[in-house]
Structure 1
Amino acid sequence: MKRTIRSFAVAVAAALTLSACGGSDTSTDSADGASDEPSSDGGTVAVAYDLGGRGDGGFNDLAYAGAAAAAEAQGAEVTEATAQETDTDQDRAARLELMAESGANPVVTVGYLYATALTEVAPKYPDTWFAIVDDATVDQPNVVGLTFAANEGSFLVGAVAALESETGSVGFIGGVDTELINEFEAGFVAGVEAADDSVEVSSSYLTQPPDFAGFNDPTRGLESANGLYDASADIVFAAAGGSNAGVFDAAESAGTKVIGVDSDQYETTEAPLNEVIISSMLKRVDVGVQTFIESVADGSVEAGERRFDLSTEGVGYSTSGDMLSEETISAVDALAEQVISGEITVPTTVG
């Protein structure tokens, strides 16, 4: 497992670095969110991003990496649009309708916030395929829900935190207190307990629904992390989207460590700040998006939920920077095998 995880981290980091620097020639992003260039013979793939947009070094960039890889293979173009903090469901629906009206097929929506809008829009465009990342509630014959066993990946980094902690205290920061992010916390807490049940876990959420700014507020991330570090935590797992940047800054100032999320954030964060990131919980949104687009192209696509877990390498953890001991890696890999075999069932809720 160790070799597989490392090879994935390096490959995706390269794609994310290109993404953060402005993308590739297959990408367009006009003011209204739709491509203003003629489609190639391969058609157009559309991506509607979550808060933070492309360049976030994580969730959204992974979606772009998957879309760009599939589009390049098909000779297609990628058109993009980014969510705003002030968006309503009507705004999101209008964005998706614009993409579908422009002829994009398929359309990928990044994040569960698009669920209500997609439920409204998908029936209007029955010949267009849509995917939604991190949601499986949209029951339409032309919608695929791409979900990931975040609890399983978080379980692994929980074990990492417990085994690498020197103070016996670790922390969790969630961007917004939602069911999805609770799944990250549940897995993390279970992983800590599995590796060393004497280690204490403190948790904090940056915002409560309907305020979703916690996914893109580095200042709040910094303040929350400072509180955990001041209370003796020496490693914090941050599942807070763009707010993770603030957590990294707090760790650098405190001389402590962080576990990143979604992408290998050691590779996507500039040095020397990346030296605070000992691992990341990898959620392979890129693979999910690429698989979906390819299935539309070859006609094998089927509506419904498509879940990616440890057994399919849909989630995992990174070892970039060589900051984890060999003992920790061996122990975590052994726990991963127990999850895959069914010997360990990782909870999805806390408590």
Structure 2
Amino acid sequence: MKKKMLAVLLAGTMAASMTACGGSNSNSSAETTAAAAKEEASESAEKTGEAAPSKDASEFKIGLITDVGGVNDGSFNQSSWEGLERAGEELGVTVNYLESATDADYAPNMETFVDEDYDLIISVGYMLADATRTAAEANPDTKFAIIDDSSIDLPNVTSLIFHAEQASYLVGYVAGLTTKTNNIGFVVGMTNETMNQFGYGYYAGAKDANPDITVQQFNANSFADSATGKTMANTAITNGADIVFQAAGATGLGVIEACQEAGVYAIGVDSDQSSIAPNTVLTSAMKRVDNAVYNAVEELIDGSLEGGVQSFDLAAGGVDIAPSQDLIAPEVIDAVNEVKEKIVSGEIEVPADKESFEAKYGDVYQLD
């Protein structure tokens, strides 16, 4: 049943709500949904031999802790919260979030949800890894999930990992075929093994589509500094870039603003960011963190949520380019669709680390 639920979820549309609120849904529709979910879970448990859920969905409390980008970053954190909001609305669970203004807030936010007896605490991003590990070790009866980190090997921690390099390859391919100057930019929020996957994929896709292309690379060293993002994008534009991709959380909002003011294209990240600047955002490298969060809640309810790594790639619908494609030329869309098929089939292997990247493209990625 777990695989079936995941397939259904990954085919769904993203929730549009940006309302920051937490709480259980007590209306009859939510109660009916919760009852149905429990009944289905019980039937599945009888067939598989797993333990049936010990309480109604409405009794579960799930909390989400953002990184410093905040819940309205238009990207990673917001998409995570939208997935959890949808779980609250459709499954009848109680949901809430706590924002982290600085990294000093991670541990206190964890303690708050633990003290309030939340059943599942979801950490948004690898920056919360240390705080999540500490809280999980101290509270083995509480379940935790963390997005984009697989370093925690504990039975009560589920890692939700996305193949960001595949989505980035696709938007890089779009950029390589769309640029008029053969010059594009990339602004990353911070460099590390996880974030560099965006850069490896973007450069690889752009280079495969356009061998003559130049990729300017910038490290903002922050996910919450839109002013720095805007400055770096303006530098790239001044140096000839007519498309700038950002993988930088709230910092990336400054990149989009700079591109909008200069009349060049921006590429969004994590969610479909076209609504921010419809005539500017060419496409977005999407990670369906909303669906992964929703799926984790369903597994919590039916008793199947386990520690370990859950991986979301292009084949499973976990990553993709945004569905809004009005600014992309039809022939480019066709070319990208062909590339997608080759990635899924394994004909194209997108580099996800320094070794595989340099083996094909040489030492040209500057942000390690």
TM-score normalised to structure 2 length:
0.82
Q: Which amino acid aligns with 1:218?
A: S
User: Gaps spanning 5+ residues in structure 2: where?
Assistant: 1-8, 26-55, 359-368
Are 2:188 and 1:186 aligned? no
After TM superposition, give the deviation of residue 261 of structure 1 in Å: 0.3
C-alpha separation in 2, matches of 1:46 and 1:228: 39
Q: Deviations over 1:51-91 (max 9, x none)?
A: 12211111111111111222223322112111122x33xx4
Closer/same/farther in 2, CA of residues 44 and 51 from structure 1, 3 Å limit: same
Q: Which amino acid aligns with 2:245?
A: F
Residue 242 of structure 2 corresponds to which residue in structure 1? 234
Q: Which amino acid aligns with 1:236?
A: V
Is residue 173–residue 209 contact of structure 2 (8 Å, CA) maintained in 1? Answer: yes
After TM superposition, give the deviation of residue 235 of structure 1 in Å: 0.4
Are 2:111 and 1:97 aligned? yes
Kindly report structure 1 stretches of 4+ aligned residues shifted beyond 6 Å.
Answer: 7-10
1:221 to 211, 226, 229: 229
After TM superposition, give the deviation of residue 227 of structure 1 in Å: 0.6
Taking every aligned residue pair, what percent have the same amino acid on both sides?
Answer: 36
Residue 55 of structure 1 corresponds to which residue in structure 2? 72
Is residue 48–residue 83 contact of structure 1 (8 Å, CA) maintained in 2? Answer: yes
Residue 66 of structure 1 corresponds to which residue in structure 2? 83
Is residue 42–residue 74 contact of structure 1 (8 Å, CA) maintained in 2? Answer: no
2:170 to 148, 156, 161: 156
Residue 330 of structure 1 corresponds to which residue in structure 2? 334
Residue 202 of structure 1 corresponds to which residue in structure 2? 216
C-alpha separation in 1, matches of 2:321 and 2:75: 14
After TM superposition, give the deviation of residue 251 of structure 1 in Å: 0.9
C-alpha separation in 2, matches of 1:193 and 1:292: 36
SS of the equivalent of 2:180 reads coil
Q: Deviations over 1:231-268 (max 9, x none)?
A: 1110011111101121112112211110000010003x
Q: Which stretch shows the higher mean deviation, 50-59 or 147-156? A: 50-59
Q: What is the 5 A alignment of 1:9-24?
A: 11-12=13-14, 15-16=15-16, 18-19=17-18, 21-23=19-21
Closer/same/farther in 2, CA of residues 294 and 9 from structure 1, 3 Å limit: closer
1:287 to 291, 300, 309: 291
SS of the equivalent of 2:146 reads strand
Q: Deviations over 1:160-185 (max 9, x none)?
A: 00011011111111011222111100
Q: What RMSD in Å do the two structures reach over aligned CA positions?
A: 2.1
Closer/same/farther in 2, CA of residues 217 and 9 from structure 1, 3 Å limit: farther
1:129 to 128, 143, 154: 143
After TM superposition, give the deviation of residue 46 of structure 1 in Å: 0.6
After TM superposition, give the deviation of residue 321 of structure 1 in Å: 5.3
C-alpha separation in 2, matches of 1:9 and 1:321: 18
Q: How many matched pairs?
A: 317
Rg: which structure is higher?
Answer: 2
User: Gaps spanning 5+ residues in structure 1: where?
Assistant: 1-6, 28-38, 208-213
Closer/same/farther in 2, CA of residues 312 and 258 from structure 1, 3 Å limit: same
TM-score normalised to structure 1 length:
0.86
